[in-house]
Structure 1
């Protein structure tokens, strides 16, 4: 029996390799037909480039441009029936059919209800947000639950490195009926977000959890209990908090996944993930180690915005903590500008690029323009508020440093960069004479990143100003253990520290015994 796929006003005779529009055959080549067949048989799910190339060019090594040309031919053919947007491009990942429902005839049972194998998952992390349940069961709160989920999915879709399955696809799945692993396979989703919404009187309670579909491992869970004063403001607040909490957890989960891969199988994305913990450490030895991985990633993908941004941060670290060498400063700015060029839709790349330009090129206006662009892409980007707060702090804008640092910690209290948010808080409080608050913030910075010399430097200054000289000298000694060549004048010069702040910090560090 001939395999036929009917969709909209089209019919694909897969065996005859002919696409019909109504009764009219269209001039679509054999390879394009093979590609369209795969997309239709996996309708609604992402199909990776590798699977598509294998379907149309089995056993051959070809350039991606060949695939692009064939996809363009398919779109031209579908335009006869208004289907130019039925094939969705998933940047760097593959393609997906999102047009009218597909009816298939003459297929074996295994092909009639295809399940996407694990190997067909996109190379970048993919997330499906399932419909939240309503334990009340009265249907009254369903619209609110669906609104929350759609807002969360929309927020996650603005995170450049995530691929988010559209709710119109994920809402059709029942986790209890099918099981999470099967849902993940069929949707092409590595991670699933599920939860429940319950309204009780004038309050609403929402629980959410993120699960790795393949293993069933729980990555993140949270409960929200809020007064129902304004249901739509609450919906926006919950979506913002869920997105800001999920992003760092997924990055950690992705890193653990990549660590299980053999080194020779790492592509540019995996190399950047491997580099990330050392980039985030903020110390020279780790930064140099991260740069080696990032250079490999950029050799594979020269326009990889986040790789450029991470490289800028590494060179910033080496410039600031390894002798203020001009080569590192120039490299930091060069990579930052490349990150902005290639990463207009990547909030994290824009954030770190702006930070490097602000700190190493001393161009705060350009830095905050990049930060504003990052927040336009992803309003829930806690890291943007973190590094922006640090720039405000060193620039002597104490109130803004505190405001941005506190906002960052509300968005993502366990962020890998939380230590830097506490830097912003310490600098702001120190500048304003809030000595107790400055000490608390400095201690929190040390707790979150005990390997970072500047956290200990800030603690030494805060303790000295408070008159706790013994503790201040202990903190100063730890600075020199971590960074033997440390001179606070070099730190202040490197970050273009506000003169009044530099004077008060320097006086406190003199008391603590750190060399100027």
Structure 2
């Protein structure tokens, strides 16, 4: 959760790069916010021009006049909203000093009434969250292996129709934290919590696990497993089956067979995909390039490894949309997606990634939803399937269905890093239906979920423009250009095969906000 600096009537969210006046964002751009943050953090102290320039223009050589312009923008906002132009003193030839109201550090999200999340309701069926297992191997570099075991256990559990399973993207927000199991149960809306540890050494793996009833704190099940590293897939299945057997002792044969699914032929390929996963999930071009190196090696070792192809498709999708709309990336995204579908008929994650790439980059919505619905048939608790599906629905102009899918995805993974995509789907859907206030709220949530992604500010700029809040819309548009310097809304909307009515609505608003076509 981003830290906020609270001073006077303002709250400055350093993570999202937004200055709020009460619950409303101000029109300050990224550089002005960075300058204000440094000044407020050093309240009462002189901050040199050099330090301020490095904060707002890291590694760049710029003229002092640029700093002067941004400081003037900060003073103008402070003056207009709180009579605070004098809060920033100029020390000629030296720098500036903040002398306004005392600042306090607040870990709470700004604009709580806009951003607050409701507590999930306990579902009417069995529900479970699997927390990250502790790595007891004595080697921090083995964290990815412990995480992979948990991820695979979650995947197995999620294939059981009568069990609601929280996605790993939400449970992993608890990694490295001392947790109160009852609180975890309340925050995620589940009855049971599974936790444990992993020790990998000398070709052996030891896993301990315990399941707790989050409503009472009582231990339901605990067990220790010792296996050879070569038996890792059988071990993961055994843990999942033992855990779910504690919830429902009379498991049917068909349910056991669903948990015991197909795995890659090569353990080395599996290991490479585990190592690549966090960079794939980042959605940042520099990191997905690193992931592709590992994924290509995995595919060389096991050409039929569906999840490796699915992840590679997501990497090329990211590069296509965020690194210049190069046809080679679009073609590679589609090629890997088709391989993931060919080899991954039993793999919900591979089908989800493939469906997303086919829908977004191949513009074949029918084929995309054939893959996504197949993924949900395999794994009804696949949060990412609903979230990525909501994005395709949003760009297709299916507003109400997009909102429904986004909400389902976030119930299955309340703290998912992909929630920004679900909120984007909601923002564009509300915009298309003329619900501009709701579009604005969803766009703010998206910005807070992922302030490094340009599309979040595209949705925000459009919603603000439709509300007539042009100064704020233009500030959001500036942020789009800072994050994506080559952005042209006409090209981007064509690249995702945007619904014509939505394209017209977004295009008109983004033009008013000052973004180039």
TM (norm. structure 1) is 0.53
Moved more, 343-352 or 318-327: 318-327
| Alpha-carbon offset, residue 380 of structure 1 | 0.4
Q: What displacement does 1:124 show?
A: 5.6
Q: List 4+ stretches of structure 1 deviating above 4 A.
A: 121-124, 126-129, 148-156, 179-185, 205-214
| Alpha-carbon offset, residue 296 of structure 1 | 2.1
Q: Does 2:314 align with 1:313?
A: yes
- Structure 1 or 2, whichever has the larger Rg, is 1
Q: Tell me, yes or no, if structure 1 residue 125 matches structure 2 residue 142.
A: no
Equivalent residue number for residue 190 of structure 1: 207
Q: Distance in 1 between matches of 2:283 and 2:152?
A: 33
TM-score with structure 2 setting the length: 0.52
Match of 1:112 in 2: none
How do residues 212-251 of structure 1 correspond to structure 2 at under 5 angstroms?
none
Question: Which secondary structure does the structure 2 equivalent of 1:278 belong to?
Answer: helix
* Distance of 1:411 and 1:371 partners within structure 2: 16
Instruction: Note closer, same or farther for the CA distance 1:207–1:513 as it changes in structure 2 (3 Å cut).
Output: farther
Aligned to 2:365: 364
By how many angstroms is 1:345 displaced? 1.3
Task: Indicate the residue corresponding to 1:385 in structure 2.
Answer: 386
Q: Tell me by how many angstroms 1:360 deviates.
A: 1.1
Aligned residue for 2:431, secondary structure, equals helix
Q: Does the C-alpha gap of structure 1 residues 123 and 448 become closer, same or farther in structure 2, counting only changes over 3 Å?
A: closer
CA distance in 2, matches of 1:128, 1:335: 22
Distance 1:331 1:183, change over 3 A: closer
Q: Distance in 2 between matches of 1:180 and 1:471?
A: 47
Instruction: Show the counterpart of 1:355.
Output: 356
How many equivalent pairs are there? Answer: 305
Q: 1:182 to 1:515 in 2, by over 3 A?
A: closer
Post-superposition CA distance 1:21-62 (Å, at most 9, x none): xxxxxxxxxxxxxxxxxxxxxxxxxxxxxxxxxxxxxxxxxx
Retained in 2: the 8 A contact 1:333–1:357? yes
CA contact under 8 A between 1:128 and 1:189: conserved in structure 2? no
Contact persistence 1:128–1:191 (CA under 8 A): no
Give the CA deviation at 1:466. 1.3
Provide the C-alpha distance between the structure 2 equivalents of 1:191 and 1:507, rounded to a whole number of angstroms.
Answer: 57
Q: For 2:159 and 2:308, locate their aligned partners in 1 and report how far apart those are by CA, in whole Å.
A: 30
Residue aligned with 1:330, SS: helix
**Displacement of 1:212:** 12
Name 1:31's counterpart in structure 2: none
Q: 1:190 aligns to what SS in structure 2?
A: strand
Trace 1:23-102 onto structure 2 (pairs within 5 A).
none
Which residue number in structure 1 is paired with residue 301 of structure 2?
300
SS at match of 2:451: coil
Deviations 1:167-211 (A, max 9, x none): xxxxxxxxxxxx9779999x976362411387xxxxxx6889999
Pick closer, same or farther for the CA change 1:513–1:339 going to 2, 3 Å: same
Q: Distance in 2 between matches of 1:502 and 1:335?
A: 28
Contiguous gaps of at least 5 residues in structure 1 = 1-118, 130-147, 160-178, 199-204, 215-234, 237-265
Residue 285 of structure 1, CA deviation = 2.5
Secondary structure of 2:211's partner? strand
SS in structure 1 at match of 2:303? coil
Q: Structure 2 regions of 5+ residues with no counterpart?
A: 1-141, 169-194, 226-246, 249-266
Cα distance between partner residues in 1 of 2:146 and 2:198: 16
